[in-house]
Amino acid sequence: MTLSQTNKNYKVKHDPVRAAVLEALILIQQGEQADNAVKLVTAGQNFRPLDIRFLLQLVNGTTKMKRRLDHEIKFYLAKPSASLPLILANILRLGFYQLIFTSRVPAAAAVSESVNLARQFTDKSQAGMVNAVLRARLREPQKIVFISKDEDPAKYLADFYSYPDYFVQYCLDEFGPEKAEKLLEAYNQPPHVTYRVNSLNSKPDEVTHLLQENNIEFSFGRYLPEFIHIQSGGLPLEEQLIKTGKVFVQDESAGLPVRLLNPKPGDNVIDLTAAPGGKATYMAIRMRNKGRVTALDKSHRRLELLVENAQSLGIKIISPVVCDMAEFKSEPFDRVLLDPPCSGWGTAGKKADLRWKKEPQDISNLVKIQTKMIDRAARLVKPGGVLVYSTCTIMRKENDQVVEEFLLRNNDFELESGKQFFHSELVNERGFIKTYPDCGQLDGSFCARMKRKLKN
- List residues with catalytic annotation: 392
Instruction: Let me know: does 295 contact 309? Beta carbons within 8 Å.
Output: no
Report the 3 state secondary structure along 407-432: HHHCCCEEEECHHHCCCHHHECCCCC
**Nearest to residue 275, comparing CAs of 311, 251, 303?**
303
Cβ partners under 8 Å of residue 248, min gap 6 = 195, 196, 198, 242, 278, 281, 282, 309, 313
Q: Give the Å distances, CA to CA, from 52 to 36, 40, 48.
A: 14, 13, 6
DSSP state letter for 390: E
Half-sphere exposure (Cβ direction) of 393: Cα atoms closer than 13 Å: 27
DSSP state letter for 397: G
Q: Report how far residue 265's alpha carbon sits from residue 220's, in angstroms, rounded to the nearest whole number.
A: 25
Cβ partners under 8 Å of residue 50, min gap 6 = none
Name residue 221's amino acid.
G
Classify each residue of 396-418 as buried b or exposed e, where b means 16 or more C-beta atoms within 10 Å of its C-beta. ebbbbebbeebeeebeebebbbb
**Nearest to residue 86, comparing CAs of 30, 37, 16, 162?**
30
Cβ partners under 8 Å of residue 38, min gap 6 = 24, 55, 56, 59
Torsion (CA) 234, 236, 237, 241 in degrees, nearest 10: -90
Name residue 388's amino acid.
V
Q: Report how far residue 70's alpha carbon sits from residue 92's, in angstroms, rounded to the nearest whole number.
A: 9
DSSP state letter for 240: I
Please provide residue 42's backbone torsions phi and psi, each rounded to the nearest 5 degrees: -100, -10
Q: CA 328, 332, 334: angle at the middle one, nearest 5?
A: 125
Instruction: Let me know: does 64 contact 188? Beta carbons within 8 Å.
Output: yes
